[in-house]
Amino acid sequence: MLTVLQEKLAEAHGLAIAATTLTKKVEAIVHEPSLAGELRGMRADAEEARARCLVVEEKLPPELAEELRAHANTTHEKASDLLGAWFKAGTGPLRAWNFLAMGEAGEVATWSQLATLAARAGDDDACELAAWGLLVQQRHLETALAGAVVLAAQFDPIGPRWG
């Protein structure tokens, strides 16, 4: 049985896994070179987050670490289901970027919760991970919000909608 802190760690891990897929899908739709570079950077950060989560999880007893990874995979699957539904009906660049921004906001919330829980539990490893992850995700959210404006400026406001 996972604690609240362990569950939140697994969720942060699962969202990092999902972020690698999301950034690839958005990059395939959004053809703005500066934003493509940002997406590649976000993907690299997500891969680093996955690796850092694994380091913390591997310090736990094997059965517990396995349970955390299973919960991370469940979180990833749920996020993938949302991603699939959002992109299923033919999503244009603006909507794709909006989904990215929503995902980043969710990650900021998750990493904020992880930081608070880890501090309250006195878990130094989780505190260090959460401090790193929260800064990264806040930067990603700022990038997503700024990118929404960059992308919107490329569209004719009275032109036909995408698709």
pTM > 0.85: yes or no = yes
Helical packing angle, 93-121 and 62-88, nearest 10° = 160
Place of tokens 């897929």: 21
Single-letter amino acid code for the residue at 90: G
Place of tokens 């997406």: 39
CA distance 155 to 106: 27
Of the candidate CATH numbers 1.10.150.120, 3.30.360.10, 1.20.1260.10, 1.20.1740.10, the domain formed by 4-152 belongs to 1.20.1260.10
Q: What is the pLDDT of residue 69?
A: 97
| CA 161 from centroid of its chain's CA atoms | 28
CA torsion through residues 53, 54, 57, 63, sign: positive
Report the 10 Å Cβ neighbour count for 134.
Answer: 20
Cβ atoms 68, 13 nearer than 8 A = yes
CA distance 1 to 4: 10
pLDDT per residue as tens, the chain (163 positions): 899 999 999 999 999 999 999 999 999 999 999 999 999 999 999 999 999 999 999 999 999 999 999 999 999 999 999 999 988 877 899 999 999 999 999 999 999 999 999 999 999 999 999 999 999 999 999 999 999 999 999 998 988 876 6
